[in-house]
Amino acid sequence: MVIYKMKTRIAPTPSGFLHVGNAVSFLITYCLAKSENGKLLLRIDDLDRERFRKEYLEDIFYALDWLGIQYDEGPSSLADFDKYWSQHHRLSLYDLALKSALEQGWVYACDCTRKDLMTSGNYPVYNGKCRDLKKSFHEKSAWRWRIKEDTSIHWVDLLNPNTTVNLSEQMGDFVVKQKNGLPSYQLGSYVDDLHFNITHIIRGADLLTSTAAQLYVATHWKSTDFQRIHFGHHPLITDKNGNKLSKSAGSESLKSLRETGKTPLTIIELARNSLGLPDEKIETTAELVQLCLAYKPFLNEKIRSI
């Protein structure tokens, strides 16, 4: 029987065709798992059904195969995903968490529209408009988690050792239940990572505030299991204009690269650079893993202190 020292996950969303930035994050996560005898979960986040498409879901399986990433747990096909792995099978878990937050008085109802938010003067940081209005929790209201003023979250990051996020200034009171009744990314991801016993998470630098928000939630529930998770945030891959790559914005997709006969070589090199590994000639994901084994780019004292 294999005894795993840690467990990490790849958690794409089927809301568009995957792009180069997604692939780099997947490769870094895979390197962490393989170089530290870890278990890798494929968790597909499909709560956003408005943008969900079957072809986007298929693209995830094609992309992982093209990249040479082999995961240990998770759906093996579209049918397997629908039957066993969709987040919609875990709605009861999210509802329990939301009920607890409501009972503890940690959340409040918010009726602000997107137009209200965008014209508030500090978008996308929420300005707290509904915080003290004591609005009723009706079916079409969002739920926001109340953040204390000057709340800063600090952790020792796997890739950026001393990381601090001023959550009240950089995010504000964040949504945990959407107006459509479904949990937000922050709540769903938090619950799922606990449910699947995740110990290490690799994310892009754009999700620093999400990590801070989820750690803040964990302190309220006194969730030591979540607080023990080790996070690593890698630099973002940007386009030629310096903008963040986005599936919804139509950034160059892995699908187009595959269909034009490209190999993942350029993406593998981007992952190598993100990890600060030496400029050695590598051509495959397996060789990238070997380079990680040789040079240990992660903070090993944190990886091994489970």
Inside any domain, residue 158:
yes
Q: Which two tokens mark 78?
A: 């579209």
- pLDDT the model gives residue 268: 96
Residue 299: pLDDT over 70: no
Give pLDDT tens digits for 128-151.
Answer: 999 999 999 988 899 999 999 999
Whether residue 124 is preceded by a cis peptide bond, meaning omega within 30 degrees of 0, is yes
Q: Which of 102-106, 108-112, 239-243 has the lowest mean pLDDT?
A: 239-243
DSSP SS3 for 233: strand
CB distance 33 to 39 below 8 Å:
yes
Whether residue 78 is found in the same domain as residue 103:
no
Inside any domain, residue 231:
no
CB distance 204 to 234 below 8 Å:
yes
Whether residue 185 is found in the same domain as residue 94:
yes
pLDDT-based confidence at 306, cuts 50/70/90? very low
Whether residue 63 is found in the same domain as residue 143:
no
User: What proportions of the chain, in percent to the nearest 5, are helix, strand and coil?
Assistant: 40, 15, 45
Residue 83: pLDDT over 70: yes
Inside any domain, residue 100:
yes
Whether residue 179 is found in the same domain as residue 275:
no
Q: Which domain holds residue 176?
A: 90-197+210-221
pLDDT-based confidence at 305, cuts 50/70/90? very low
Q: How many Cα atoms occupy the beta-carbon half-sphere of 161 within 13 Å?
A: 4
- pLDDT the model gives residue 250: 52
Of 187, 221, 255, the domain-final residue:
221
- pLDDT the model gives residue 302: 56
- pLDDT the model gives residue 116: 87
- pLDDT the model gives residue 303: 54
Whether residue 110 is found in the same domain as residue 54:
no
Residue 76 CA to residue 58 CA, distance in Å, equals 11
Pairing of strands 6-10, 38-42: parallel
What's the average model confidence in pLDDT over 47-65?
94
Whether residue 274 is found in the same domain as residue 291:
yes
Whether residue 117 is found in the same domain as residue 42:
no
Residue 304: pLDDT over 70: no
Inside any domain, residue 115:
yes
Inside any domain, residue 205:
no
Into how many domains does the chain fold? 2
Whether residue 104 is found in the same domain as residue 58:
no
pLDDT-based confidence at 36, cuts 50/70/90? confident
Whether residue 244 is found in the same domain as residue 287:
yes
- pLDDT the model gives residue 2: 61
Inside any domain, residue 2:
yes
The average confidence (pLDDT) of the chain is 91
pLDDT exceeding 90 applies to what percent of the chain? 78
Whether residue 30 is found in the same domain as residue 106:
no
- pLDDT the model gives residue 98: 98
Inside any domain, residue 152:
yes
- pLDDT the model gives residue 34: 94
Looking at the DSSP bridge assignments, the partners of residue 253 are: 19
> What contacts 115, CB < 8 A, 6 or more positions away?
none
Whether residue 217 is found in the same domain as residue 271:
no
Whether residue 52 is found in the same domain as residue 144:
no
Of 221, 256, 284, the domain-final residue:
221
Residue 69 CA to residue 288 CA, distance in Å, equals 11
Inside any domain, residue 268:
yes
Domain containing residue 116: CATH number: 3.40.50.620
Of 221, 255, 285, the domain-final residue:
221
Q: Which of 45-54, 146-155, 199-208, 293-302 has the lowest mean pLDDT?
A: 293-302
Residue 247: pLDDT over 90: no
